[in-house]
């Protein structure tokens, strides 16, 4: 067995949670009990159903505008996961292709790409995201663009390192002798051999994307209202943290569980691909 028992158990738990979140996000219109953007002031600040004054019609209570917290939480999962998937796909494709080109071609191509990546690494991620979000404006597409601009450099660095290793292998030399073009070698021979490392990185970065996106929404420059979003839900509830704790605690716990689940899954994939890490005591 290539995975330790504890890692196997935690990875299965993380995978189950991720599957539940994904299914919930996809089928949100059918699962959510109420319209997440429709509120009734007569129903404002109803506590969760297990507290005194709670209602079974609003299991997790309502917010200051009388909107159902559970429904907003479900739709918030759709928003966060959509941003994460699209941003990671964009950043992963761009960064991986640039990194492979830098590692295989070398020379001035390598210098330009990697110095640009170093420049991206020199800025704190949240600060850079905040500045870009303010400049570009708050919208779903802009948030995806902002996060992609932050993440691409990590894919470029990893892809370059893997490409430097793979380009010295015999099958790459045979491809050169066979007359394959540089583009063909990079796409058909190098990319498939670096893909596993990039997939692990993508899995681990889902949590980072969710935190960045939620942070931007919390600061008011993320997904614009009335679209449900976990970060904006926390921001709206911070003024009521004593009297209506569920407004911030519930979406905060959703972020915690989601990020932890993806990290556990990413760690398990890393250990499966490179079991030497476990033998070295890293797990």
Q: Which tops the pLDDT comparison, 132 or 2?
A: 132
pLDDT score for 280: 42
Class of domain 5-279 as given by CATH:
mainly alpha
3 state DSSP class of 173: helix
Confidence of residue 19 (pLDDT cuts 50, 70, 90): very high
Averaged pLDDT score across all residues of the chain: 86
pLDDT at 1 over 50: no
pLDDT tens by residue, 224-245: 888 888 998 998 888 888 888 9
pLDDT at 109 over 50: yes
219 contacts 130 by C-beta, under 8 angstroms: yes
Q: How far apart are CA 30 and CA 101, in angstroms?
A: 45
Q: How far apart are CA 233 and CA 63, in angstroms?
A: 9
pLDDT score for 31: 92
Q: Select from 203, 246, 245, 210 the least CA-distant residue to 231.
A: 210
pLDDT score for 253: 93
Question: Which tokens go with 86?
Answer: 């699209």
Confidence of residue 17 (pLDDT cuts 50, 70, 90): very high
Q: Which tops the pLDDT comparison, 137 or 208?
A: 208
Q: Which letter, b or e, does each residue of 94-125 get, where b requires 16 or more Cβ atoms within 10 Å of its Cβ?
A: bbbbbbbbbbbeeeeebeebbeebeebeeeeb
pLDDT score for 273: 72
pLDDT tens by residue, 139-182: 888 888 888 888 999 999 999 998 988 888 888 888 888 888 88
Percent of the chain with pLDDT over 90: 31
Give pTM, 2 decimals: 0.85
Question: Which tokens go with 128?
Answer: 């850079």
pLDDT at 137 over 80: no
pLDDT at 184 over 80: yes
Backbone angles phi, psi at 165, to 5 degrees: -75, -45
Helix and strand numbers (H, E) in the chain are 12, 0
Confidence of residue 101 (pLDDT cuts 50, 70, 90): very high
pLDDT score for 274: 63
Q: Select from 265, 244, 262 the least CA-distant residue to 51.
A: 244
Write the DSSP symbol of residue 58: B
> Residue 215 belongs to what H/E stretch?
helix 191-218
Question: Which tokens go with 137?
Answer: 């404006």
């Amino acid at each position: 067995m290539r995975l330790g028992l504890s890692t196997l158990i935690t990875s299965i738990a993380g995978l189950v949670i991720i599957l539940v979140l994904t299914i919930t996000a996809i089928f949100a219109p059918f699962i959510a009990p109420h319209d997440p953007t429709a509120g009734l002031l007569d129903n404002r600040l109803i506590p969760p159903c297990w507290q005194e004054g709670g209602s079974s019609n609003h299991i997790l209570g309502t917010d200051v505008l009388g909107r159902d917290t559970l429904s907003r939480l479900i739709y918030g999962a759709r928003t966060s996961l959509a941003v994460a998937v699209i941003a990671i796909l964009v950043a992963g494709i761009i960064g991986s292709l640039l990194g492979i080109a830098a590692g295989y071609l070398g020379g001035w191509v390598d210098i330009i790409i990697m110095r640009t990546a170093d420049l991206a690494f020199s800025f704190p991620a949240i600060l850079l995201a905040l500045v870009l979000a303010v400049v570009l404006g708050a919208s779903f597409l802009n948030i995806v663009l902002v996060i992609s601009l932050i993440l691409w450099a990590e894919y470029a660095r990893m892809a370059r390192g893997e490409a430097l290793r793979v380009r010295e292998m015999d099958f790459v030399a045979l491809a050169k002798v066979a007359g394959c073009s540089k583009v063909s070698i990079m796409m058909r021979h190098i990319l498939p051999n670096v893909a596993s490392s990039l997939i692990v990185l993508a899995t681990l970065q889902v949590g980072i994307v969710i935190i960045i996106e939620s942070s931007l929404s919390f600061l008011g420059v993320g997904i614009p209202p009335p679209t449900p979003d976990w970060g904006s839900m926390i921001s709206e509830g911070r003024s009521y943290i004593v009297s209506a704790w569920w407004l911030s605690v519930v979406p905060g716990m959703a972020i915690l569980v989601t990020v932890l689940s993806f990290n556990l899954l990413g760690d398990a994939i890393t250990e499966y691909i490179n079991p030497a890490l476990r033998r070295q005591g890293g797990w």
